[in-house]
Structure 1
């Protein structure tokens, strides 16, 4: 199972995950993927060394093997599971584009995190 941890207090994050949940309804029902609000379980990933602020800044997930995924790697894993979005995972997760994908995701996440902090969404 892929368990995705995200920040429901961020309107952009919450809307993005809501969209994915709608697209992944069968996977959610069958238990192949789960979306969890880190604000309800702030220490959930402490064993991986991930703080509440780390997860508010970037998506985090654990995969079926218990590995921690962060940022763009979470987006790629979700795209792989989403019908019709496998091409996004193949494109942005290929070895040539992956470093650029991670860089772009991280910069966007930094801007979004700063915006949420300024708006007091904590």
Structure 2
């Protein structure tokens, strides 16, 4: 089997992140079964993206993914890549990932991720 088109690294200890990824995995079930996308728990492989300079805390703070060419995607760019692959959600990628909206999308994603990360740390989810 060839490498997945997208490997998404996420934090299963975050209930919001885990629920979001479970929803996406369900929506992408055929793509997952075909091996075109993979979802990986960073808590199981904390050094998985160290070659990119991404720490465990970086990945707990924001989604990270690698694409088929070995490039690293972070934050909103991961969400947009997932939407592009998800049946019925490509319109989200077009809306939030276009050249005009993308800077605002990244800013909004990063602020939400910062708040979620702080909340998880406060709740002791590490």
TM value normalised by structure 2? 0.96
Check if 1:100 corresponds to 2:108: no
Check if 1:10 corresponds to 2:14: yes
Q: How big is the alpha-carbon RMSD for the aligned residues of Structure 1 and Structure 2?
A: 0.3
Which of 54, 60, 83 is the equivalent residue of 2:58? 54
Q: How does 1:63-78 map to 2 (within 5 A)?
A: 63-78=67-82
Query: What is the alpha-carbon distance in structure 1 between the residues aligned to residue 104 and residue 36 of structure 2?
Result: 28
The aligned length equals 122
Query: What is the alpha-carbon distance in structure 2 between the residues aligned to residue 56 and residue 109 of structure 1?
Result: 9
Report deviation, 1:120. 0.0
Unaligned runs of 5+ residues in structure 1 are none
TM value normalised by structure 1? 1.00
Unaligned runs of 5+ residues in structure 2 are none
- Give 2:122's aligned residue: 118
- Give 1:91's aligned residue: 95
